[in-house]
Chains A and B, each alone.
Chain A
């Protein structure tokens, strides 16, 4: 054997060495062409990035996401299409419609009559931004928000679309955005969960939202969203039962923790460690939550700002106010869902009711954060999971029509957190059907949110079942044009 090794060594002639060398150099050069970062410094993630700290100085510390589940129509809110109104009743040209998938609800429709907004638009703010009459309060804060008219998504039905927005994948086994943020930045206030979820329901047809939307997927379950209850007590079972003193509770938890530690040592299951932490947090929440959720000390000015409904638990207004208070107390990610935006029929009147539910409180949140000096560090997002078609679903009259799901363009708005205020980003065509300028994919949107929080979406990764996962899957780039 030894002889063969020596012989092999002797066979390495100068010519052979050089020819091999050139091949090697060639492939190195090719490699550097294909992967520009190949010889750059090792990415942070591979070096074991310290979790719980931003990758770079962040613009935003927290996020409040006012999710409008069911998909509000962009054509009756922020994407003003006067041409479409003129063309009402005409057939949508095939050249505009293209060949993309339609939902089963309208795919078999014989005709696709275009329908313009039944509600009027007016211009507001320094940039003369068009906003529909359904959103008078949002119109007043238009100088503080950035409207993106060129969002587009991949999913066509509610559940996959919301899941895509929240987790970056349509299937629903991934961690949600709030969980990623909790994982990336940790909790600011250890007395409260880093990720809270508040639900409300409008009068319209409500599609469900499911707990997978705030699940932690393969991340440690400490990062999952905590859903608050819509009743008088936002967090249930927080009060000690009669006869249980605080010190007694403490002793009980200490004993329980020591027992849990024993089983943790035995099994090494990280979920046991999580459990211990959650008990501790619940103990601290016993004093923290009443302080945060107490609305009785809010001055009249604030009540008027959000509208009197903010005192009715479970309404969007109450949740918006609570979101501000949670955010103020260091909750990283407050996720609101307001359901009922799915206007397949009777859109003008149904959508107006939905808008009434959320308009004042959404605008109030921006104003309130601003006056508290928190808007700079809090990113507020308002929007649904996709848009609605420019053609009518079902029967159509001037005042009454419906719109089907439309993933190819829709509008959302963002405010604060280092987003450029008072601008409109992206454009759609005169039909309101396709994007013609600056498209923003859901992954771009997610990358931007993480970016504002000081996280690089390509570095915030978690290895699971042999592959690295990130919120933006394998695509997405930060939307530079909306950054202040």
Chain B
């Protein structure tokens, strides 16, 4: 039985060898039917079996000849079976591999190497099996055979792996750092540094010279332009017509989708980059930095590169002790970043500025790269000092005293990139002085004597320069804000002079006191001290200024309260939420803010009456009481229901003067409640104001546990 098996195996081996020879001879005429393709594609599956078997068999072969092993029957038989099984399987694997190689996309040197090495493994292992039984087959031969076969296996395996995973797959993790040298943004090229890495990472393992699926290679610009079997890869400027993007966007189940399921997929950003690249025509030799700053491709790609501001400065750092000495509260000198030799200088506080502030920087003339003098009283003479800071890149002279005459002094600043001259008196002619500054990229000149037309022409003659002309709003029509009342109180006893003000300069204010609407023509013009009020009145005011839309109308009420108690007290507790300043709130000569119930100008009561006692040193002849209340039912704020007025000549001797029930008035937020009674003189007075005790109507769940609150303010006595 065992012998029969061995014969079958040996015969199979020979048949396989012959069959393979045949296949190799007629390789070019082979056409593989579909079912055989399946067989061929099992190559990567099967190959591991012969690989392992042959490795073990060769290890046994290597140590076969010490006599004790030779005499061990099991050792001998095991080695022999393993070798023949390995050789047969190797043969099957080679056949499969040959079938697979006939499929599209496999060609090139790597494939040839893999093929011939694999065939060699097959032949050589068969040979070893056939020869190892002869008596002249000795220890040396056995060892040489073992080593040779192992080397062949290694070579085959290696090239096979290169075919599947791409070049350098094995060592990539250790070599990565060397490959990805950080590219500076300024140097980065659109194709080489943005697009090619995407192909490299996600496509090239199947589309390279050795394995070009669909006859497509993505390794260099020539092959990319050439396209593959189905046609050109992209239609420059038309991403929607481009094969590349069509394949990328196919649904995941689709056979033609790229990259295929299971392989690393493109990220949305990568797809976006490819799309933008194709829309832009598929550039191969442009630099990223040459694209306009607003370009989407540039913006999307930029974060991957080292920052443009990460500049290296070649000069030596300044003596730290010197920098420290020159640093003070008004002249701040700081390195650009930790470890950088370059220095930024900021000058503050104009009252401390003198020319010396700049002159003292002379020892740092190499290191200073930026200086900010905005709003300092810098004179033309100081620019000569600045001209000596030859490494200067940024100079801010906004709102300083420099003129065109001084600008010539800046000519030595060959590295100056940004110059700000806004808010100075320079003219267009003065800008000739900056022509020697070839590196200048930013210029700021708003609020100068240069007109918008001149700026336009300057921009045309200096296309590379970004000219900052500011944002003029002089043409915008804006509405003025409201006039403000300067009077601190709006309750008076005899008369009051109304004082108005407006935050904007040179504004006209017009007003009315009789309730008529204010307009810009007929209404009287406000002047200081002109409005004197002797009775309850409401002043309406609007502000006007040429070039602006007139303000809205604002009303300020003034109320007479002829009598003020000399002392007062509250007998009942206030509601904590609206306690404001306590009972003083009611007599502070300021009415509750009609627009704001939580402004601290209203006094609140809930679930108890408000009982207020007032004392007058001189008997007061009072005939009316009024006060404001704020109502907002959705905030549980309700007007009082009832008030009792009591008066008397001593604290314990009150008699009821009047009881009044207030009528409901729902449409007003702020109500003035007034009560009149016959004029009497008294020294003590007590008010009992009664709030609503429960919420009206059906109680909804959200309002459960809530009670009405009564807000009152400023008790006016006349």
A329 within 8 A of B: yes
A304 contacts B476, CB within 8 Å?
yes
B418's nearest neighbour on chain A, judged by CB, is A373
Contact with B along A348-383 (1 / 0, CB 8 A): 000000000000000000011011110000000000
Residue from B329, B396, B446, B468 having most chain A Cβ neighbours under 10 A: B329
A contact face: mostly helix, strand, loop, or mixed:
loop
Q: Which of A54, A56, A311, A368 contacts B504 (CB 8 A)?
A: A311
Segment at the interface with A among B344-352, B637-645, B681-689: B344-352
Q: Which residues of B, 326-372, contact A by the 8 Å Cβ criterion?
A: 328-330, 332, 334-338, 340, 346, 348-352
B579 within 8 A of A: no
Query: Smallest CB–CB gap between B596 and chain A, Å?
Result: 8
When chains A and B are docked, how far (Å) is the Cα of A367 from the Cα of B476?
15
B398 contacts A284, CB within 8 Å?
no
A189 contacts B340, CB within 8 Å?
no
- Given the known interface contacts A301-B472, A373-B444, the answer about A312 and B340 at a Cβ–Cβ threshold of 8 Å is no
Q: Which residues of B, 544-603, contact A by the 8 Å Cβ criterion?
A: 548, 595
Residues of A within 8 A of B420 (CB): 372-373
- Given the known interface contacts A126-B294, A288-B349, the answer about A57 and B472 at a Cβ–Cβ threshold of 8 Å is no
A305 within 8 A of B: yes
B170 within 8 A of A: no
Residues of B within 8 A of A188 (CB): 332, 334, 346
Residues of A within 8 A of B41 (CB): none
B337 contacts A308, CB within 8 Å?
no
B447 contacts A304, CB within 8 Å?
no
When chains A and B are docked, how far (Å) is the Cα of A291 from the Cα of B338?
32
B470 within 8 A of A: yes
When chains A and B are docked, how far (Å) is the Cα of A58 from the Cα of B309?
8
Residues of B within 8 A of A53 (CB): 334-335, 337-338
B471 contacts A189, CB within 8 Å?
no
When chains A and B are docked, how far (Å) is the Cα of A59 from the Cα of B473?
29
B261 within 8 A of A: no
A480 contacts B337, CB within 8 Å?
no
B470 contacts A371, CB within 8 Å?
yes
Query: Smallest CB–CB gap between A357 and chain B, Å?
Result: 12
- Given the known interface contacts A188-B332, A371-B444, the answer about A301 and B309 at a Cβ–Cβ threshold of 8 Å is no
A481 within 8 A of B: yes
Segment at the interface with A among B89-97, B299-307, B620-628: B299-307
A372 contacts B422, CB within 8 Å?
yes
Contact with B along A284-299 (1 / 0, CB 8 A): 1001100100000001
Q: Which of A284, A301, A328, A373 contacts B473 (CB 8 A)?
A: A301
A41 within 8 A of B: no
A189 contacts B332, CB within 8 Å?
yes
B58 within 8 A of A: no
Residues of B within 8 A of A373 (CB): 396, 398, 418, 420, 442, 444, 468
Count class of interface residues, chain B = 35 or more
A329's nearest neighbour on chain B, judged by CB, is B348
B66 within 8 A of A: no
B255 within 8 A of A: no
- Given the known interface contacts A308-B480, A308-B481, the answer about A57 and B473 at a Cβ–Cβ threshold of 8 Å is no
A299 contacts B447, CB within 8 Å?
yes
A480's nearest neighbour on chain B, judged by CB, is B303
A308 contacts B299, CB within 8 Å?
no
Q: Which of B302, B309, B340, B478 contacts A304 (CB 8 A)?
A: B478
Contact with A along B438-480 (1 / 0, CB 8 A): 0000101011000000000000000000001011111010111
Q: Which residues of A, 273-323, contact B by the 8 Å Cβ criterion?
A: 284, 287-288, 291, 299-301, 303-305, 307-309, 311-312
B311 within 8 A of A: yes
B302 contacts A484, CB within 8 Å?
yes
Residues of A within 8 A of B470 (CB): 301, 371
B652 within 8 A of A: no
When chains A and B are docked, how far (Å) is the Cα of A54 from the Cα of B595?
48
A312 contacts B503, CB within 8 Å?
yes
A420 contacts B299, CB within 8 Å?
yes
A191 within 8 A of B: yes
A394's nearest neighbour on chain B, judged by CB, is B702
Query: Smallest CB–CB gap between A441 and chain B, Å?
Result: 19
When chains A and B are docked, how far (Å) is the Cα of A288 from the Cα of B480?
31
B79 within 8 A of A: no
A50 contacts B338, CB within 8 Å?
yes
Residues of B within 8 A of A288 (CB): 348-349
When chains A and B are docked, how far (Å) is the Cα of A287 from the Cα of B335?
27
Number of A-B contacts (CB under 8 A): 116
Residue from A55, A328, A420 having most chain B Cβ neighbours under 10 A: A328
Residues of A within 8 A of B332 (CB): 188-190, 330
B310 within 8 A of A: yes
When chains A and B are docked, how far (Å) is the Cα of A213 from the Cα of B481?
32
A481 contacts B303, CB within 8 Å?
yes
Contact with A along B475-513 (1 / 0, CB 8 A): 010111100100000000000000000011000000000
Query: Smallest CB–CB gap between B426 and chain A, Å?
Result: 16
A59 contacts B471, CB within 8 Å?
no
A141's nearest neighbour on chain B, judged by CB, is B471
When chains A and B are docked, how far (Å) is the Cα of A146 from the Cα of B699?
48
Residues of B within 8 A of A54 (CB): 337-338
Query: Smallest CB–CB gap between B184 and chain A, Å?
Result: 13
Q: Which of A56, A190, A301 contacts B329 (CB 8 A)?
A: A190
A89 within 8 A of B: no
- Given the known interface contacts A50-B338, A53-B338, A373-B396, the answer about A307 and B478 at a Cβ–Cβ threshold of 8 Å is yes
Q: Which of B351, B396, B471, B504 contacts A287 (CB 8 A)?
A: B351
Residues of A within 8 A of B348 (CB): 189, 191, 288, 329-330
Query: Smallest CB–CB gap between A482 and chain B, Å?
Result: 9
Q: Which of B310, B346, B375, B504 contacts A303 (CB 8 A)?
A: B504
A483 within 8 A of B: yes
Residues of A within 8 A of B484 (CB): 312
Q: Which of A191, A304, A372, A454 contacts B444 (CB 8 A)?
A: A372
When chains A and B are docked, how far (Å) is the Cα of A53 from the Cα of B478?
44
Residues of B within 8 A of A299 (CB): 447
A309 contacts B481, CB within 8 Å?
yes
A422 within 8 A of B: yes
Q: Which of B309, B311, B479 contacts A59 (CB 8 A)?
A: B309
B336 contacts A57, CB within 8 Å?
yes
A454 contacts B349, CB within 8 Å?
no
Q: Which residues of B, 274-308, contact A by the 8 Å Cβ criterion?
A: 294, 299, 302-303, 307
B709 within 8 A of A: no
Query: Smallest CB–CB gap between A143 and chain B, Å?
Result: 9
B474 contacts A284, CB within 8 Å?
no
When chains A and B are docked, how far (Å) is the Cα of A344 from the Cα of B479?
30
A189 contacts B346, CB within 8 Å?
yes
A301's nearest neighbour on chain B, judged by CB, is B473
B396 contacts A191, CB within 8 Å?
no
A56 contacts B398, CB within 8 Å?
no
A61's nearest neighbour on chain B, judged by CB, is B344
B149 within 8 A of A: no
Contacts A190-B329, A301-B447 supplied; 6 other A-B pairs, CB < 8 Å:
A53-B334, A191-B349, A284-B349, A308-B480, A312-B481, A330-B332
**30 A-B contact pairs sorted by A residue (CB < 8 Å):** A50-B338, A54-B337, A54-B338, A55-B337, A55-B338, A57-B307, A57-B340, A59-B309, A189-B346, A190-B328, A190-B329, A191-B330, A203-B595, A287-B351, A287-B352, A291-B351, A301-B474, A304-B473, A304-B474, A308-B480, A308-B481, A309-B481, A311-B503, A330-B332, A373-B396, A373-B398, A373-B442, A422-B294, A480-B303, A484-B302
Q: A residues engaging B (CB < 8 A)?
A: 49-50, 53-59, 126, 188-191, 203, 284, 287-288, 291, 299-301, 303-305, 307-309, 311-312, 328-330, 367-368, 370-373, 420, 422-423, 454, 480-481, 483-484
Q: B residues engaging A (CB < 8 A)?
A: 294, 299, 302-303, 307, 309-311, 328-330, 332, 334-338, 340, 346, 348-352, 374-375, 396, 398, 418, 420, 422, 442, 444, 446-447, 468, 470-474, 476, 478-481, 484, 503-504, 548, 595
6 closest Cβ pairs, A-B complex: A311-B503, A304-B473, A371-B470, A57-B337, A190-B329, A308-B481
